[in-house]
Structure 1
């Protein structure tokens, strides 16, 4: 069965925010316990900016990885191949944050390597050729996390889906507006604010709303 003729349902890819760690951990517990999170990215910019940021990030990430392991959720570390190697997890690399070849040398074969590609098809092709597991395209919509990020066109996502590499979309996505992408064979929908900005007791329900949005997904020929 060809990719175009079967239903491809995206998976929810959650990114951490800069909440105080105790609160962050509670939110992650609530989200991961739903069984609806397929991939978790540890991205803690404010922690890393502290004087002892690298040590603190290692301590936080260790606890997050341990939690994710109990729920069988894969983890990637944002931008830091060394930390990913120390923790035995995957890595997500921005265009200026290390080479895919270095990550492949340092990480186990089963660890995911993602690459930020914005809306640039040459970067998507490059990520595929260099052996990344997925290419991230965005921002799809204006987001609170990166309000100045340039948004991309729908047609760019269509082209990205044709490059024979798993595609991740990111940027301003919500359980409501993601329906605008329905029909595209997207592997991961990356979310920060739409889940992590909620209070702990609302997290599980929001994850369920995401799952309902994905259930409506149909993939026609591109």
Structure 2
């Protein structure tokens, strides 16, 4: 599959990076379509941990991912798979790797040269420096605020964020981010704002409106 690629992005205004939740698939698909149709989503991550935990989870996630990738392609939005290099290679998409979920070098060997490789770095500048050296496309920092998706994640400080943004690699922030609290990060050199619950946990009919609220919030980023 031909996937759009992302290189170093201008640091003018961050882009929305949407992650899937654990909704039943038909509802999830409709929500994703509603969000993608707004034109505000720059990157999409497939993360279906509850489905993956089922006895036939790998097969189910693969079948879901085929449909999601096709949908994202129709909106020219690149996709990454959470943690699974093999599945990412099979689908012809990128991958996001936690610190314990595979090496960037292995991902680079398995994936096409234009595919996105993200790395979880928490608030650790040393991990961000290593991600950059290893050739990651972006380093993810968080949790920025308390998160319902990862309630045990310890929030990082603003100073950690500032230092992370000075390392010369695209920075993704994640964890408890909303269209209301994102103003607290205004002006930082962030490439991606990763969002799950603030968009995906809403009812279907509210998705487009919430994306518009995000657009409004980000329009004042550098003011």
Bucket of the pairwise TM-score, normalised by the shorter protein: over 0.9
Instruction: Quote the Cα distance in structure 1 between the aligned partners of 2:201 and 2:111.
Output: 31
2:167 to 163, 166, 179: 163
Cα-to-partner distance string for 1:31-50 (whole Å, 9 max, x where unaligned)? 00111000000000001000
2:128 to 124, 132, 141: 124
- Offset, 1:148: 1.1
Gaps of at least 5 residues in structure 2 are: 1-9
Instruction: Give the alignment of 1:84-95 within 5 angstroms.
Output: 84-95=88-99
Counterpart of 2:119? Answer: 115
Counterpart of 2:192? Answer: 188
Cα-to-partner distance string for 1:5-31 (whole Å, 9 max, x where unaligned)? x96100000000000001100100100
Structure 1 length-normalised TM: 0.95
Structure 2 length-normalised TM: 0.94
1:173 matched to 2:142: no
Instruction: Quote the Cα distance in structure 1 between the aligned partners of 2:208 and 2:165.
Output: 29
- Which secondary structure does the structure 1 equivalent of 2:121 belong to? strand
Distance 1:7 1:132, change over 3 A: closer
Asked if the contact 1:32–1:68 (Cα under 8 Å) also holds between the matched residues in 2, the reply is: yes
1:60 matched to 2:64: yes
- Offset, 1:159: 0.3
Counterpart of 2:6? Answer: none
| RMSD of aligned residue pairs (Cα, Å) | 1.0
Instruction: Quote the Cα distance in structure 1 between the aligned partners of 2:34 and 2:92.
Output: 24
Distance 1:158 1:36, change over 3 A: same
- Superposed structure 1 runs of 4+ greater than 6 Å apart: none
Instruction: Give the alignment of 1:1-222 within 5 angstroms.
Output: 8-218=12-222
Gaps of at least 5 residues in structure 1 are: 1-5
Counterpart of 1:3? Answer: none
Instruction: Quote the Cα distance in structure 1 between the aligned partners of 2:31 and 2:167.
Output: 35
